[in-house]
């Protein structure tokens, strides 16, 4: 038995998210079927985190265990030949037996992209959220600055239908940039709550539109309660950008 680690990119448009589920086509199920086709084994592919339906990944980290004697080059070519074109394996390598894609992650970066011009280019419609009304990026930055740090983010998460004993997280970066009509929100943390990034983006968009003053962000944090005052942004603008580990973590 050996453990393999791979870096996966996918277009989440037609998928019901990462996590396998009884009904619905998911990234995890599609990857596991490709692995089974190559090796004849039933495996569980463990991702660094779950992405929602319609959310994309530039670099999702995954591990799985196998008895197959294929080299990593054979795995790489074989999986990309079996996977649909909207899922690609960028890299695959041998991992330490105790490496875990989720538990060993030190930080995750998500990027949320907004097309803030009158006309959305049709080829970007699945990868940007379109807002025609001009957004005040300075107000968005002011609200983002309040959110950076270690806080209880209960007001910025959705109900995951499971017990979450601790909703405190450290948001080390929440940065808003604007270039040529495109607004990008970068969020980095050691871990995110369920729909937390989309909730942060939804709040910042409301601040940018003038619907909510930036100063109200402190009150929302302090409330520790999710209400309709925080909206969840659409999924198509969100990308799991990269996952950070200790140097050489998971490699042999």
What is the Cβ-side half-sphere exposure of residue 167, based on CA atoms within 13 angstroms? 21
* Cα–Cα distance list, 38 to 65, 78, 212 (Å): 13, 7, 52
**Residue 140 structure tokens:** 């968005």
Say if residues 222 and 156 touch (Cβ distance below 8 Å). Answer: no
| Catalytic residue check, 52 | yes
The alpha-helical segments, DSSP class H, found in the chain are 27-39, 72-82, 137-147, 196-209, 216-223
- Check 52, 65, 73, 219 and give the catalytic one: 52
| Residue 104 in tokens | 């060993």
- Other CB atoms within a 10 A radius of the CB of residue 173 amount to 12
Would you please indicate which residues are annotated as catalytic (active-site) residues? 52
């Amino acid at each position: 038995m050996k453990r393999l680690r791979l870096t996966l990119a996918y277009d989440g448009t037609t998928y019901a998210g990462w996590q396998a589920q009884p009904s619905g086509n998911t990234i995890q199920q599609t990857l596991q079927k490709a692995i089974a086709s190559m090796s004849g084994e039933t495996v569980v592919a463990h991702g660094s985190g779950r992405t929602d339906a319609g959310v994309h990944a530039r670099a999702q980290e995954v591990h799985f265990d196998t008895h197959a004697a294929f080299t990593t080059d054979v795995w790489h070519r074989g999986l990309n030949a079996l996977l649909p074109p909207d899922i690609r394996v960028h890299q695959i390598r041998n991992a330490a037996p105790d490496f875990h894609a989720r538990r060993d992650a030190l930080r995750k970066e998500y990027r949320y992209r907004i097309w803030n011009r009158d006309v959305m280019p049709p080829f970007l419609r699945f990868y940007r959220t379109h807002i025609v009304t001009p957004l005040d990026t300075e107000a968005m930055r002011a609200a983002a600055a309040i959110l950076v740090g270690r806080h209880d983010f209960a007001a910025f998460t959705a109900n995951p239908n499971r017990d979450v004993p601790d909703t405190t997280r450290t948001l080390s970066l929440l940065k808003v940039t604007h270039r040529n009509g495109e607004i990008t929100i970068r969020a980095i943390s050691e871990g995110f709550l369920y729909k937390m990034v989309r909730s942060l983006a939804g709040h910042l968009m409301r601040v940018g539109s003038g619907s909510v003053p930036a100063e109200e962000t402190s009150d929302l944090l302090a409330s520790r309660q999710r209400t309709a005052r925080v909206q969840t942004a659409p999924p198509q603008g969100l990308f799991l950008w990269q996952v950070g580990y200790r140097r050489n973590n998971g490699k042999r």
